[in-house]
Amino acid sequence: MALPLNTEASGDFLPIIKYDARAGRLLRVDRSPHADGSGWGKQEIDISTGVSFLADMAHIEVGWISFQTGVPDFSMIRIDQLATGGSFPEKPSPDHRQGFRITVQLAQPPGDVRQFSHTAKCVVRAFDALHTAYVEGLEQADNKTLVPRVTLAGTTPVKTYAPHGTTTNYAPQFEITDWTPRPAAFDEVLKNAQAAGGSYDDDLPF
């Protein structure tokens, strides 16, 4: 089953992990307020080796994402809503690209709940393949109430040829290594999103 894809923040939102396709690295982005109260700072920590995370694949969002202004703008719908008659959102602007967003929980310290989103085609394809593996895994009776534990098993170089030269990105290889009980925190995220009008806090300054 393929996925259907071809201002100052208050600090009251989920932190993120992100994937740098140019370097082939998975990063944890930690944020903390400046001591002088002037705003927020961030630290990117490479977690590519040995990391795993629980993924709320049942409620992955698909749609349109723009990073043009430095603040991500999301126009998304959950795939479970698509399956019950929801409509794929219209493209809000020429700057928006198709992508996904998902809630994850790190299996290693700090073990918190975060969001992961991307629009790069090599990453979208990798998550499409992961979603297919997830659906196939659900066919096993013991997995129906569980969520997958996912690891970054490696990367594959992907070359793009253009008139101005060749660029190389690194496609992630995500694998399901285990199935585990669904964290209560995932349901809390869904509850908070519904209370906020059906979407997560999009006011992330990176």
pLDDT (tens digit per residue) in 37-81:
788 888 999 999 989 999 999 999 999 999 888 788 999 999 999
Residue 2 domain flag? no
Q: In terms of residue numbers, what domain contains 184?
A: 16-195
User: Which residues lie closer than 8 Å to 203 by C-beta, 6 or more apart?
Assistant: 7, 9, 10, 13, 71
Domain count, the chain: 1
pLDDT (tens digit per residue) in 128-167:
999 999 999 998 878 888 999 999 999 999 998 888 889 9
Residue 35 domain flag? yes
**Burial class of residue 56, CB neighbours in 10 A (0-12, 13-18, 19+):** buried
- Taking a C-beta distance cutoff of 8 angstroms, is the pair 64, 87 a contact? no
> If residue 127 lies in a helix (H) or strand (E), which one and from where to where?
helix 121-138
* Structure tokens belonging to residue 56: 């709320």
Residue 8 domain flag? no
Residue 109 domain flag? yes
Residue 130 domain flag? yes
Query: Could you tell me which of 190, 204, 154 has the C-alpha nearest to residue 60?
Result: 190
Angle at 64 between CA 52 and CA 107, to 5 degrees: 10
- Record the pTM: 0.86
